[in-house]
A and B are shown apart, each in its own frame.
Chain A
Amino acid sequence: MAEVLVKIQPPDHPVHMPEPAVFSPQVEAEIDRHLAKYPIKRSAILPLMFIVQRERGYLDPPGVQYLANRLQLRVTDIWEVATFYSMIHTKSIGKYHIQVCKTLSCKIMGAGKITKYCADKLGINVGETTADGRFSLSEVECLGSCGTAPMFQINFDYHENLTTEKIDQILDSLP
């Protein structure tokens, strides 16, 4: 028992909290505009997380520290919310995030083939990112594009009525 207790002693090096992220005056002004919409600051947590994600690629520890300071919340409050929402990324993700809808209307219209085609073309599995950091591939739940199935969303852009030719065209034309 004593040995176990020794094992969970804190490490002998101090724990460093990351320095909060720093943003440009333009981004700070954008954040102020969101905060002004609500009677309590906490309400702005999701819009602000999207801004931090856009600026830093994902919600990283300095970004979390920034939000905690800005919203006058604890770091754990930020993580608690961040880990609930599937669009908030707490790990780095490819420049282009391909999100293939897998729910029923898309499934019966051939979503499985779309996913497989993307995976083969990019040489990755669902949930992975290409080695050059350019593409990540995910399967997601209904995106409200059922009448134009099958479809995927790349970052925030909808691409509907997909065929393999169309996928080639879309992926090859990305900058």
Chain B
Amino acid sequence: MFIGAIGCEPLQLRRVHLERSRTIDVYRRNGGYEAIKKVLDSLSPDDVISEVKKSGLRGRGGAGFPTGMKWSFVPKDSPKAKYVVCNADESEPGTFKDRYLLERDPHMLIEGMLIAAYALGARTNYIYTRGEYKYLIDIMDVALDEARAAGLLGEKILGTNFACDIYTHTGAGAYICGEETALLSSLEGFRGHPRMKPPFPAISGLYASPTVVNNVETLTAVPDIIKMGGEAYQKLGTEKSGGTKLWSVSGHVNRPGVYELPMGYDDMEKFIMEDCRGMLNNKQLKAVIPGGSSVYIMRADQIIGKDVRMDYDGLVAAGSMVGSGGFIVMDETVDVFESTKNLTEFYKHESCGWCTPCREGTDWLVKIFKRIDGGGGRPEDARLLLDLCDNIEGKSFCPLGDAAAWPIQSAVKRFPEDFEKHLSGNGQPGK
């Protein structure tokens, strides 16, 4: 599997190929912990937030919300404790970038969290990692111990009055806990149910205190933003999408992997056919899900010859989204009815059961998919699936409902031929 940068100098992936890259020595010898020193020497919390705003960094977990703005929502005058929580619950199908950041460069995350904690005035901070990534929690714990021993965590960090602690926390196999409010419920020791927003976590998050939840890739971008300055970081990408982005490439390509691309990389066809070394077994490209399973599926003819620019605006214009950057490539052998059924089963399994439209809706979607699959498809079923999606989308507390609806809506509209061939059955439940 490939891990590296294309079209730019590696930034987030700068150290991943170094020997013992996860140790504090190698991190420090390669520019590590210079940013937190610069922050403590010469920047105020407001300066840090201002640099992050200038950088154009947007949340890399999937929602793409501007990070600097998210940080600025935390009230400065609140007497309550404040928290920075790193979302390392990476569970969006097709996404595996955070795994390699945690595995190979854990100190980059610690430094990013230290800077965020300084900017927001947070003393205690957590890294919420999915339970399946236990080996990464062990790696992070070793790295945190190294940082503590080096005086980078605890009281009087680098001889200043800045005090900060970071702890790991484990999830236990629930996709929903990647949603920030569900993550906070889980971190408080409850079922992973999302919360009504507002209040947003910046006002009332962990233990009802002001909290910022950021993805691993978002926080690991922060040290470079501080070192090179927000403007320089933004210029690596485009005006509305600053910096670089990690893409997790899987499926039918010759070279899957984690690719760091500048935002605005031109173009998606070249990316698949050249950078990812083209299609496996020389098959034809049929479809791409570019931003994790929740985003709209794209037809090959929306990509080939279309100069699709790989950034937030470029992908929206092309009919999909950046999402988490989970880039799933499918060749002509894939039946999009089958692939959509697979994802619908995923969302049904992962629906937390809190909101009726999502809990009941995903269950019915799977029932209908199974009936069609068992030979009971009817011509009107495509319409029925879309009707159901309309009754889920926008009607649940968190975006899991939307995420279940979007793949189906786009697949039915963009691959009608794959659905039609399943819809001439007898209308009876299958065996």
Min CB distance A52 to B, Å, is 12
Indicate if B334 sits at the interface (CB-CB under 8 A).
Answer: yes
| A104 x B1 contact (CB < 8 A) | no
CA distance A42 to B339 in the complex (A): 40
Indicate if A45 sits at the interface (CB-CB under 8 A).
Answer: yes
Contact with A along B103-147 (1 / 0, CB 8 A): 000000000000000000000101000111111000000000000
Indicate if B299 sits at the interface (CB-CB under 8 A).
Answer: no
Using A37-B167, A104-B342, A153-B132 as known contacts, say yes or no to A85 and B94 having CB atoms under 8 A apart.
no
Q: Tally the A-B contacts, defined by beta carbons under 8 Å.
A: 139
CA distance A85 to B176 in the complex (A): 10
Pick the residue among B188, B256, B293, B349 that contacts A43 (CB under 8 A): B188
Taking CB atoms, residues of chain A closer than 8 Å to B326 are 146
Contact with A along B86-114 (1 / 0, CB 8 A): 00001111111011000000000000000
| A46 x B342 contact (CB < 8 A) | no
| A104 x B339 contact (CB < 8 A) | yes
Indicate if B170 sits at the interface (CB-CB under 8 A).
Answer: yes
CA distance A85 to B350 in the complex (A): 10
Contact with A along B249-264 (1 / 0, CB 8 A): 1111000111000000
CA distance A105 to B132 in the complex (A): 18
| A40 x B188 contact (CB < 8 A) | yes
| A84 x B207 contact (CB < 8 A) | no
| A87 x B95 contact (CB < 8 A) | no
Min CB distance A71 to B, Å, is 8
| B350 x A144 contact (CB < 8 A) | no
Taking CB atoms, residues of chain B closer than 8 Å to A41 are 189
Pick the residue among B135, B187, B328 that contacts A105 (CB under 8 A): B328
Look across to chain A and name the residue whose beta carbon is closest to the beta carbon of B3.
A147
Look across to chain B and name the residue whose beta carbon is closest to the beta carbon of A149.
B250
Max chain B Cβ within 10 angstroms of own Cβ: one of A85, A88, A108, A158: A108
B interface, size bucket: 35 or more
Using A37-B167, A141-B93, A142-B91 as known contacts, say yes or no to A45 and B175 having CB atoms under 8 A apart.
no
| B190 x A146 contact (CB < 8 A) | no
| B172 x A105 contact (CB < 8 A) | no
Look across to chain B and name the residue whose beta carbon is closest to the beta carbon of A142.
B93
| A104 x B94 contact (CB < 8 A) | yes
CA distance A46 to B188 in the complex (A): 10
Pick the residue among A42, A46, A104, A144 that contacts B90 (CB under 8 A): A144
CA distance A104 to B81 in the complex (A): 41
Look across to chain B and name the residue whose beta carbon is closest to the beta carbon of A158.
B135
Indicate if A96 sits at the interface (CB-CB under 8 A).
Answer: no
The SS class assigned to the B binding surface is mixed
Pick the residue among A42, A45, A50, A104 that contacts B293 (CB under 8 A): A104
| B99 x A85 contact (CB < 8 A) | no
| B187 x A146 contact (CB < 8 A) | no
Using A42-B188, A146-B93 as known contacts, say yes or no to A108 and B334 having CB atoms under 8 A apart.
yes
Contact with B along A80-100 (1 / 0, CB 8 A): 110011111000000000000
Using A80-B191, A105-B328 as known contacts, say yes or no to A156 and B134 having CB atoms under 8 A apart.
yes
Taking CB atoms, residues of chain B closer than 8 Å to A39 are 81, 124, 207
Look across to chain A and name the residue whose beta carbon is closest to the beta carbon of B93.
A142
CA distance A16 to B169 in the complex (A): 34
| A142 x B94 contact (CB < 8 A) | yes
Taking CB atoms, residues of chain B closer than 8 Å to A37 are 126, 167, 169
Indicate if B322 sits at the interface (CB-CB under 8 A).
Answer: no
The SS class assigned to the A binding surface is mixed
CA distance A86 to B349 in the complex (A): 10
CA distance A38 to B169 in the complex (A): 10
Indicate if A159 sits at the interface (CB-CB under 8 A).
Answer: no
| A86 x B172 contact (CB < 8 A) | yes
Using A40-B188, A87-B173 as known contacts, say yes or no to A141 and B349 having CB atoms under 8 A apart.
yes
Taking CB atoms, residues of chain B closer than 8 Å to A104 are 93-94, 289, 293, 328, 339, 342-343, 346
Contact with B along A48-80 (1 / 0, CB 8 A): 011000000000000000000001000000001
User: Which 4 pairs between the two chains have the least Cβ-Cβ distance?
Assistant: A42-B189, A146-B250, A87-B173, A85-B172
What is the interface of chain A, defined by CB distance below 8 A to chain B?
A: 37-47, 49-50, 71, 80-81, 84-88, 102-105, 107-109, 140-149, 153, 156-158
What is the interface of chain B, defined by CB distance below 8 A to chain A?
A: 1, 81, 90-96, 98-99, 124, 126, 130-135, 167, 169-175, 186-192, 207, 248-252, 256-258, 289, 293, 326, 328, 330, 334, 339, 342-343, 346, 349-350, 352
Since A102-B342, A140-B173, A142-B92 are in contact, a sample of 14 more A-B pairs with Cβ atoms closer than 8 Å, ordered by chain A residue number, is A37-B167, A39-B81, A43-B188, A80-B191, A104-B94, A104-B339, A104-B342, A107-B339, A141-B350, A144-B91, A144-B95, A146-B94, A147-B248, A157-B135
Could you give 26 example pairs across A and B, Cβ below 8 Å?
A37-B126, A37-B167, A37-B169, A42-B189, A46-B169, A50-B131, A81-B190, A84-B191, A87-B173, A88-B173, A103-B93, A103-B343, A103-B346, A105-B251, A108-B251, A109-B250, A141-B93, A142-B175, A146-B248, A146-B250, A146-B256, A146-B326, A147-B1, A147-B248, A148-B256, A156-B135
